[in-house]
Structure 1
Amino acid sequence: MTYHILIAEDDQDIVELLRLYLENNHFHVLTAANGKEALELLKQEKVDLLIVDIMMPKMNGYETIKAIRQTSHLPILVLSAKSLDHDKIIGLDLGADMYMVKPFNPLEVIANIKALLRRSYQFQDTTVSGTQLFKYGDLEYDPERMVVLKNGKTIPLTACELKILVKLMSSPGRVFTKSQLYEATGQEGYYEGDDDTMMVHISRIRAKIEDQPSKPRYIQTIRGLGYKFEG
């Protein structure tokens, strides 16, 4: 299977560098010079993953991510010169799956793209119980479509968010550590620095499924241990 990668980047030198490495790894490459062009291509072309810069003309990366997340679980890798933790948190909070800082190692970019594709398109191979329907209150997981619904409407979750939420829903009342939830996303090598990333994921999930995210009904924090789902 050939995966289609869309690069949204206004620096042509970076585009050509990424294209070289992507094509050498047998990916099909599409390009857009800004967020608006990227959104138009997403309507017209098959795209399996988006690489997006933050600082672009017409529509920046943050706006692009926000627009995509309204309707799609498309894996998104941010590649930006904005290196402050604040910038990274904004990108992840809006729905990016991964955030890398320029200058970058092209081989590391390729490795992260492959990891995101594995996590996003081999969901059924993870430790999550992917065939069972879960229904709690106004929330429901549909395993055939691999979507979570609230009051019958699909919630726009990223691939990571979906895996974390379904992992929690699979065992209501059970406390999962941050490490266990991290592993549920298909990643390996958890370390303490990943705590902040998991907290961002949980915060984003709550914002999408809870009526009052500051007073969550479903996802409870168990201080010093992790999180549990209340059915």
Structure 2
Amino acid sequence: MQETIMLVEDDEGLNRGICFALKKDGYQVLSSSSIQNASRLMKENKVDLVLLDLNLPDGDGLDFCNEIRQTSQIPIIILSARDLETDEIIGFEMGADDYIVKPFSLSVLKVRISAMLRRSFRIENDTKDDREWLESGNIRLCKDTMQVLLNNEEIELSNTEYKLLKLFLENQGKVLLKEQILDAIWDKDANFVDENTLPVNIRRLRLKLEEKPSDPVFLQTVHGMGYIWREGA
């Protein structure tokens, strides 16, 4: 995938040189010499990284850096002739991810860009969750990892308890007959299941999930029939 870099630099020669070097390395480059134009480019394009000069004709790059950071977490590398330590500190405080003092080597700049994009890619992928979850109130069950969360904290369930919870979450709001549950969780004809097995496991599940197991909010008994999981209770 071709990454898009936006360069905001009003020095025409430097702008042209950086654009040439980055395009040669396979990047798509959006070039701007002003904050106003850069802001427009940001809105019209998906930008993966920003190279930002500070002394721009229509404002301070630090203000634009802060503006970007209000709505986006894309990497921002400041390119500036301001070489005081306080300048760098302010740059980072305004949301910059890196600060390179002019003059600089194009080779160093390209290495910094590559490292920043790799880090950004890892963070983006770490925050994506393609796993399939079943949810009800403060309870979440991950079908891919068999992980169960209660108030966002993982709890331990036995294999049978997990299967029961999964069955109920997949059938929220429906009365499940005892025979249906036995058929789904244990032997198809329930020939080898003790009659107390189901209520014992239901009780254990309530103890782990319900605030008041004796007066359950989620997993309720339907007398003479079976059990029901109340949706989003």
Aligned Cα RMSD in Å? 1.9
For this pair of structures, how many residues does the alignment match? 131
Residue identity matched to 2:45: E
- Partner of 2:27 in structure 1? 27
Corresponding residue of 1:48: 48
Please, which runs of 5 or more residues in structure 1 have no aligned partner? 131-141, 146-231
Separation (CA, whole Å) in 2 of partners of 1:123 and 1:67: 21
The percent identity for this pair of structures is 36
Q: What is the aligned partner in structure 2 of residue 13 from structure 1?
A: 13
SS in 1 for 2:56: coil
User: Does residue 95 of structure 1 match 2:95?
Assistant: yes
Q: Kindly report which structure 2 residues correspond to 1:176-187, keeping only aligned pairs within 5 A, or say none.
A: none
CA–CA separation in structure 1 for the residues paired with 2:40 and 2:88: 25
Q: How far did 1:46 drift?
A: 1.6
When normalised by structure 2's length, the TM-score is 0.53
Map Cα deviations across residues 192-213 of structure 1 (whole Å, 9 max, x no partner).
Answer: xxxxxxxxxxxxxxxxxxxxxx
Spell out, residue by residue over 1:122-173, the C-alpha distance to the aligned partner (whole angstroms, 9 max, x if none). 2267xxxx4xxxxxxxxxxx7539xxxxxxxxxxxxxxxxxxxxxxxxxxxx
SS in structure 2 opposite 1:122? helix
Kept in 2, the 8 Å contact 1:76–1:98? The answer is: yes
Contact preservation (8 Å) 1:6, 1:30: yes
Q: Which amino acid in the other structure matches residue 70 of structure 1?
A: Q
- Kept in 2, the 8 Å contact 1:7–1:50? The answer is yes
TM-score, structure 1 as length reference: 0.54
CA displacement at 1:59 relative to structure 2: 2.3
Alpha carbons 1:8, 1:53 under 8 Å: kept: yes
Structure-1 residue corresponding to 2:203: none
Q: What residue is the counterpart of 1:189 in the other structure?
A: none
Segment of structure 1 superposing worse, 15-24 or 91-100: 15-24
Offset of residue 120 of structure 1 = 0.4
The answer for the alignment partner of 1:144 in structure 2 is: 129
1:58 alignment partner in structure 2: 58
What residue in structure 1 maps to residue 39 of structure 2?
A: 39
Partner of 1:85: 85
**Distance of 2:11 and 2:124 partners within structure 1:** 37
CA distance in 2 between counterparts of 1:49 and 1:55 reads 19
Take 1:54 and 1:12, find their aligned partners in 2: how far apart are those partners?
15
Q: Read off the aligned partner of 2:13 and give its amino acid letter.
A: D
- Using the TM superposition, give the Cα deviation of residue 21 of structure 1 relative to its aligned residue in structure 2, in angstroms: 1.0
* Paired residues of 1:51 and 1:78 also in contact (CA < 8 A): yes
Name the CA distance, whole Å, in 1 between partners of 2:86 and 2:121.
29
Q: Which amino acid aligns with 1:68?
A: I
Which of the pair has the greater relative contact order for Cα pairs under 8 Å at 6+ separation?
1
| Conserved 8 A contact 1:7-1:52 | yes
Please identify runs of 4+ aligned residues in structure 1 that moved more than 3 A.
142-145
